[in-house]
Amino acid sequence: MKHQMLLGWRLTFKHMNMILILFLYQLLWGFLVYRAIDDIVAPLLRRFPADAPTEQAVQSFLAEAQFQLFKTDLIQPYLWLLGGLFLARMLLTPLFNAGLFYSIHHQHSRSEGGTRVLEGIRKAWKPVMLLYWISCALMLAPAWWLAPSWMDALLHLGATPSLLTEIVPGAGLWLLWITIIHLLFLSMQFGAVSGEGVLPALWQSVRRFFSYAAISLMMWGITALLGLAVSSMSMVWAGLFALIVHQGYPLIQTLLRVWTIATQYQHLRSES
């Protein structure tokens, strides 16, 4: 695994231009989503009884917020805006993925000098986009059964410990389902851009699933630990350096994401 992580790291540094583009893309997406949600939440929070937050006042605030969200058309324009943003993401993300995966494959197989992101978008965007859409649909499918029961529990139980017992088991199984679908469809996207074929790539990932999942979890763990370290630094050590690190972390996060993808690709190809 260490050798594959090292090879993935080398592939990552060959795609710094793509990392910068992905960083700007994530930055713009995060800003737009933040502004949309802030426009919904901020007016409601202004009604919170900060001066006298008694239990009765808080319950009245929650009842009023629930009424405005579910019984009026306050949220409808923002839902349309969020829907448009997510549709744009569903169109743009697989294009970036096609270019990145295709370029990683050619760097790995032929050790060519330059990246081939634009060529990958032209040649592989159709199968990658189709697989991306199918994977997203499968990831969201459990919400059809889980969301109604969670909403009912929230309305009847409120913010109580009983609510966690209702939500946590289903959320854990849903997270496991999302992880499995993500890994399997990622391998199929690798197969689509490499010319190997979707089904052979799927079989390869199934046959090596435990080692594939292990190295993926290791890379995700590195990202999570680094994020925790940056957050802790921002809270404990307040200063200019901590501010610079905190503001620059999204770029590091994008670098780690590309490293994770390159390492996963290296792992699947090395055991073929």
Over residues 168-210, the pLDDT tens digits come to: 788 889 999 999 999 999 999 999 998 888 999 999 999 999 9
- Residue whose C-alpha is closest to residue 172's, from 152, 149, 142: 142
Tell me which amino acid residue 235 is.
Answer: M
Return the pLDDT at 19: 92
Return the pLDDT at 31: 81
Return the pLDDT at 187: 95
**What is the CB-side half-sphere exposure of residue 36 using CA atoms within 13 A?**
18
Q: What gap in Å lies between CA 1 and CA 267, rounded to an integer? A: 8
Contact 250, 23 (CB under 8 A): yes
Sequence-separated (6 or more) residues with CB below 8 Å from residue 14: 107, 115
Return the pLDDT at 95: 94
- Residue whose C-alpha is closest to residue 134's, from 63, 175, 189, 79: 189
Return the pLDDT at 258: 94
Return the pLDDT at 45: 65
pTM: 0.83
Return the pLDDT at 219: 94
| Regions in the chain scoring below 70 on pLDDT | 40, 43-59, 61-62, 64-75, 108-114, 153-163, 234, 238-243, 246, 271-272
Sequence-separated (6 or more) residues with CB below 8 Å from residue 49: 57, 58, 60, 61
Return the pLDDT at 132: 96
